[in-house]
Structure 1
Amino acid sequence: MSIKPGKDFKVPPPSVTSDAVGTGGRSSFSGITCTVFGSTGFLGRYVVHHVAKSGSRMILPTRCSENDRQHLKVMGDLGQIVQLDYGIRDEETIRYAVERSNVVINMVGREWETRNFSFEDVNVTFPKKLAEICADVGVRRLVHVSALGAEEDHPSAYYRSKAAGEAAVREAFPSATIVRPAKIVGVEDRFLNIFGEHSRKYPAVPIIDGGDTKHQPVFVDDVAVAIRQIVHDELTSGRTYELAGNKVYTFDELAKMVLKTIRTRKSTAYIPSFIMKALSCPHEWLLRRVPFPMPTPLGLTRSYIDAQSRDYVKRADSLGFSDLGIEPNNIENGYVLDYLRSFRAGGYQVGDAPWEHEERDAKLSA
């Protein structure tokens, strides 16, 4: 007996990959037309690369100049990457960017406030508006990238806004997939690079309070691969994934790991958080009032300092890499931390990989 669709029976929509053509790879078509917000950011460029190389059409709305986004054009086959100009307050351009897509990924974020954009604007209002538009135009999948540690009662305004953004997205688009990455490390990161930069500028690397907060840093490429897997897997709809590395470190241990990798004799210095906040106040005041871009000292913003009062460890009962069939990299291997060699006094040298000098390092420490 055949069953016909009716009032009490709903035929599930086809998979976003149902129109796939070809054998896979960049020159095929995966069936996915994906709009990526935040494509020029640290994580964004890796996500564009991994989603595009499966043969997906990519629509990349940005608000930067051509020079800042031209590297994304070569991540797909000819005609596969489409770039648009947009603004997070312009509903018309947001709608235009998503109305032809069956998948939307949002990675827009801001770790400090400026005169033009507050945490509320970037982390709450825009995700809510985007989710509402996606629901209105019939987008099939929405992937919203938040942050591990997003909580309504967090001391950091950044993490409070991230939690509010998650709630707003869930309300407007219940089947959205929430991704909560831990502290992400990689060439362009604003985590381990901070220790390296401070080692070159200051007599010692400042550590807030005792540096005993716990972290599970994760390699940026692993997070991008996980997001690609989520995009292709319909069963991830409506779920929340916490993407963290395999090992837990204290903040102090991570700083010392960086100092060892860059082979410096400098050490760490423990600075009370109230002193760091006092040092950050003048810069925070200027950021909210000066009408032109200002250089932002890494590690010297109020949101960064407040964030050091909490642990950022994956919950045991939450979904993660293992549920996506992915084994994350160990960040201590030479491949992941290789970018920190740029902070060495001698810079990069042929045959100077970290894993090739264990014996020499042991002799120097002795």
Structure 2
Amino acid sequence: MRIFIAGGTGFVGEHVTHELLRRGHQVRLLVHRRSAAAEGVEQIEGDVTRPESFEQGADGCSAMINLVGIIREFPAKGVTFERLHVQATANMLAVAKKAGVRRYVQMSALGTRPNAVSGYHKTKFRAEELVRNSGLEWTILRPSLIFGPKDAFVAMLARQLRLAPVMPVIGSGAYRLQPIHAADVARCFALALEMPVTIGQCYELCGNDRLRYVDLLDAVAAVMGRSAPFKPRLPLGVMKLAIPALQNIPRFPITMDQLQMLVEENICDGRWKQTFGFEPKGFKEGIGEYLTR
């Protein structure tokens, strides 16, 4: 099967591409600029915000995957949730229809829902609605926090721990996360394309380890061979006042959207395993593969 992927050059995209190639598929990647590519990978120069730039790239494909997403906006650079979640999805769907591609898989995010508070989840849901109403043979996957080699979140925590055994925690730190390995997410994307039962379905993807944020910090430290870090608490109310004034500074580490998503938790019931038929990699086992190198 030849599969067109937007967002395939990012962290998750690299894992999805690798898994599809491993299973014998051909991959056609939408890229801003061509570079060296693995065998079985074609590159199409274009921009997901300009459908005319990649219309021909979808010709001859059996399926399309949309992995495009951002966790933080930079409006001055045109990097917004509206543009890269909603409009990008609309463009992908339009190109799929024009090219006659019926099969379509969308990466959304755990926590996406009609009554979401964060702008991130609101736009993810609007994108999902476009997919559901597209008339295509769609599947939506909503991963939890994704970890794995070259990830952003766990790698950031590890860098901080290497500098000093101090990890500030906003609020109680009791809010829970259920991380899933990028390779397991990639496997679900590949299986979704191969399993007709997934058509018209939305799956929430999470690992087996349901961790409080403070316990996740301890787990990262333990895998690195370090003692549990000191965790000074930053009052939630104070942070809600400070973050809006500071979040437009590019290097400031958190936005109000990210704070909202953190404290409202990121967990699921794991029912996805009934369909996809495998157990996800454990958190400590998974991060040990790359943090101990």
Distance (Å, rounded) in 1 between the aligned partners of 2:59 and 2:236: 46
One-letter amino acid of the counterpart of residue 272, structure 2:
G
2:276 equivalent in structure 1? 324
Structure 1 residue 252 and structure 2 residue 203: aligned?
Answer: no
- Report the Cα offset of residue 275 of structure 1: 3.9
- Report the Cα offset of residue 315 of structure 1: 4.0
- Report the Cα offset of residue 195 of structure 1: 2.0
- Report the Cα offset of residue 65 of structure 1: 6.1
- More displaced, 197-206 or 210-219? 197-206
Distance (Å, rounded) in 1 between the aligned partners of 2:208 and 2:98: 39
8 A contact 1:223–1:243 mirrored in 2 = yes
Tell me the SS of whatever aligns to 1:205.
coil
Per-residue CA distance 1:179-212 (angstroms, 9 max, x = gap): 0111111122222223222223466212121111
> 1:1-366 counterparts in 2 under 5 A?
32-64=1-33, 66=35, 70=36, 73-74=37-38, 76=39, 80-114=40-74, 115=76, 116-201=78-163, 204-265=166-227, 266-277=229-240, 280-281=243-244, 284-287=247-250, 296=251, 299-315=253-269, 319-333=271-285, 335-341=286-292, 348=293
Distance (Å, rounded) in 1 between the aligned partners of 2:106 and 2:47: 18
- Report the Cα offset of residue 262 of structure 1: 1.9
8 A contact 1:243–1:314 mirrored in 2 = yes
Tell me the SS of whatever aligns to 1:339.
helix
- Report the Cα offset of residue 223 of structure 1: 1.0
Per-residue CA distance 1:122-152 (angstroms, 9 max, x = gap): 1111112211321232112100010111123
TM-score (norm 2): 0.90
TM-score (norm 1): 0.73
Distance (Å, rounded) in 1 between the aligned partners of 2:245 and 2:277: 47
Q: How many residues align?
A: 290
Per-residue CA distance 1:49-82 (angstroms, 9 max, x = gap): 111122222110112563xxx3xx22x3xxx211
One-letter amino acid of the counterpart of residue 233, structure 2:
Y
Structure 1 ranges of 4+ moved more than 4 A? 277-283
Distance (Å, rounded) in 2 between the aligned partners of 1:202 and 1:283: 24
Distance (Å, rounded) in 2 between the aligned partners of 1:321 and 1:84: 34
- Report the Cα offset of residue 280 of structure 1: 4.3
- The unaligned stretches of length 5 or more in structure 2 are none
Q: Which has the higher contact order (CA 8 A, sep 6+)?
A: 2
Tell me the SS of whatever aligns to 1:326.
coil
Over 3 Å counting, the alpha-carbon distance change for 1:193 and 1:272 in structure 2 is: farther
Tell me the SS of whatever aligns to 2:168.
strand
Per-residue CA distance 1:292-320 (angstroms, 9 max, x = gap): xxxx45x423322121121222147xx50
What's the C-alpha RMSD, in Å, of the aligned pairs?
2.1
Distance (Å, rounded) in 2 between the aligned partners of 1:275 and 1:96: 51
